[in-house]
Amino acid sequence: MKITFIEYNGAVHVVEGEAGQSVMDLAVKHGIPGVVGDCGGACACATCHIHVDPRWLAATGEAGDMETSLLEFARDPDANSRLSCQIKVSPALDGLIVHLPESQY
Ligand code: FES
């Protein structure tokens, strides 16, 4: 399944992910700049903040309660903000596009 990461500066990275893998894991594994993932995916750090492309909001669904509270600590969160460790790659998300924030801190 193809996942596209677009950096703040416009650089585009398209990578292949496997079902069940988190979008954060995928980014870290491929060395995508801009996703840190300090807590390793435990929904405890907010350094995996991304913005879901508007066309993919319905498919990715809404942030859970814990994720929503953590997003308050992310830098410049908006209505499309998610923690990428909480989004799992699946066939329904094949083609997903996410935008990276300028910085995680
Ligand atoms: Fe820490 Fe996502 S990796 S909240």
Any domain includes 81: yes
Residue-number span of the structural domain to which 22 is assigned = 2-99
Q: Are 90 and 1 in contact (CB under 8 A)?
A: yes
- The alpha carbon of 9 and the centre of ligand 1 are apart by a number of angstroms equal to 22
- The number of angstroms, rounded, from the C-alpha of 96 to the middle of its chain's C-alpha atoms is 10
Any domain includes 104: no
The number of distinct structural domains making up the chain is 1
Any domain includes 86: yes
Q: ipTM greater than 0.90, yes or no?
A: yes
Test site for ligand 1: of 43, 68, 88, most ligand atoms within 8 A of the Cβ: 43
Any domain includes 105: no
Q: pTM above the 0.90 mark? A: yes
CATH of the domain at 20: 3.10.20.30
Q: How many CB atoms lie within 10 A of CB 38?
A: 12
Any domain includes 57: yes
Is the minimum distance from the CB of 96 to ligand 1 under 6 angstroms? no
Please write the tens of the pLDDT for every residue from 35-63. 999 999 999 999 999 999 999 999 999 99
- The token pair at 76 is 């410049």
Bridge partner residues of 97 (DSSP): 4
